[in-house]
Structure 1
Amino acid sequence: MYVKICGISDPSMARFAVDRGADAVGVVMSERSPRHAAPAVARSVVAAAHDAAASTDTVLVVREMPAAEAAATALRLGFDVLQLHGKYSAADFAAALEIIPRVWRATSLVTEPDVRAGDLGEELLLLDGAAAGSGETWDLSTIDRARIGDRWLLAGGLDPRTVGPAVDLARPWGVDVSSGVESSPGLKDRDLIARFLAAARPARD
């Protein structure tokens, strides 16, 4: 089970997450988010994650930034992946992919009920709740795995208590968490991160 811990804005927390087994860490650059990181902070998180394990995927998450600008920013700050969250078009993905080779797509079945992994050229699809970053649960029974495909991440309403049952029900390739491992909006909690990682990977995984 691939696990991404998102919304990290503290290098020491990035290092902790990777040391505990996170496959990816995400940094949000969106001024409307309580998890927004300035460029210097984002760069330091990337460096810490790569120092902890060179194989870690570092992911820049954006919502409003133009796709080409976001791709250039991701490259400049040392990210491995750009994640475009929300209303980005096929042209936006094409523009980003001309600049950075790895682009992920994050969306919701509420806004895009017929979404399929790879439709816009993305490497990976992330399915979130309607209110991204809110931690609100959503109806996982609406997921049609036969249509969506096999390589996608589940997000929205996950925490150490809910991730196990959600994985059993939705059977995603991986999971993504942000608010579910926070003690308050934007403040990550080491104990919650450790517990989430343990719960996301059952013994059979």
Structure 2
Amino acid sequence: MFVKVCGLSTPESVRAAVEAGADAVGFVLTPSPREVTPARARELLADVPGRVAAVGVFRHETATAAVGLARRAGLEWVQLHGDRIRGDVQAVHDAGLKVIRAVTMDAAAEAFASWGEDLLLIDAAVPGSGEAWDYSSVRAKGLAGRDWLLAGGLDPANVGEAAAKAGAWGVDVSSGVESTRGVKDLAKIRAFVKSAKSAKSA
């Protein structure tokens, strides 16, 4: 099971995720309680080994702006939320970076098709709510054989069951490993990665 821990903002939280075995870590470079500056993200990269993907997360920024910020941060992955077009994925790839394209469960059917992204992320209809949802409903989206991440409302207690219900290839967590909004709980990070890694991939 591929595991991404997102919204990291301190060296301690980055180290906890990496040491627990996370495959990717995310740094929020868009307005959010978890936002860090590109300079801060670059500092945090000191604790991220090359085997772990380091991802810059963006919402309303254009693809070109996201690429610029990711480069300033020293990141090789860009995660795009919000309303997007296929050209956004191409623009990031043309810049030599990899793409995670995020969609919500209530998006139009076309959004679930492959746009050439490296990974697709499927979030709850209301992203950021931290609430669990009907994970089994993802199976109707026809994603068998594709690499994609399940997100939204996941925590150490439910990640295994949620991933199994959805048939997920990987999982992504942020609020589910926090003590308060925007503040990561190191024990929860470790517990989440352990629980996710013990779950079966689709």
Given the two structures, how large is their TM-score scaled by the length of structure 2?
Answer: 0.92
Q: Which amino acid aligns with 2:123?
A: D
Partner of 1:70: 66
Amino acid at match of 2:172: D
| Pairs aligned (count) | 200
Q: Deviation per CA, 1:163-199: give whole Å up to 9, x if none.
A: 0110221121100000000000100001101111111
Contact 1:106 1:125 in 2 (8 A): yes
Check 1:96–1:203 CA distance in 2 against 1; reply closer, same or farther (3 A cut).
Answer: closer
**Aligned with 2:178 (options 182, 192, 197):** 182
Which position in structure 2 is the counterpart of 1:4? Answer: 4
Contact 2:100/2:120, CA 8 A, preserved across alignment: yes
Distance of 2:176 and 2:167 partners within structure 1: 19
Give, in whole Å, the separation in 2 of the partners of 1:74 and 1:65: 11
**Secondary structure of the structure 1 residue equivalent to 2:112:** coil
Find the partner of 2:82 among 81, 86, 100.
86
Q: In structure 1, what is the Cα distance between the partners aligned to 2:29 and 2:72?
A: 14
1:120 offset after TM fit, Å?
A: 1.8
Which residue matches 2:162?
A: 166
Matches within 5 A, 1:22-41: 22-31=22-31, 33-41=32-40
Query: In the TM superposition, what is the alpha-carbon distance from 1:68 to its structure 2 partner?
Result: 0.9
Residue identity opposite 2:168 in structure 1 = P
The answer to whether residue 108 in structure 2 is matched with residue 115 in structure 1 is: no
- Contact persistence 1:71–1:99 (CA under 8 A): yes
Matched position secondary structure for 2:111: coil
- Among 134, 151, 155, which residue is 1:139 paired with? 134
> Which structure is richer in relative contact order (CA contacts within 8 A, separation 6 or more)?
2
Kept in 1, the 8 Å contact 2:25–2:52? The answer is yes
Tell me the CA shift for residue 40 of structure 1.
Answer: 1.6
Q: Give, in whole Å, the separation in 1 of the partners of 2:182 and 2:129.
A: 11
User: C-alpha distance in 2, partners of 1:131/1:11?
Assistant: 29
Matches within 5 A, 1:8-23: 8-23=8-23
**TM-score normalized by structure 1?**
0.90
Given that 2:135 and 2:163 are in contact with CA atoms closer than 8 Å, whether structure 1 keeps it comes out as no
1:20-65 deviation digits (Å, cap 9, x = unpaired): 111110001111x11111122111122221xxx2211000000011
2:123/2:151 contact within 8 Å kept:
yes
Whether contact under 8 Å (1:75, 1:100) holds in the other structure is: no
**What amino acid is aligned across from residue 136 of structure 1 in structure 2?**
E
Displacement after TM superposition at 1:203 (Å): 6.8
| Equivalences for residues 184-199 of structure 1 within 5 A | 184-199=180-195
| Residues 1:204 and 1:129: Cα distance change in structure 2 (over 3 Å) | closer
Structure 2: give runs of 5+ residues left out of the alignment: none
**In 2, distance between residues paired with 1:105 and 1:203?**
23
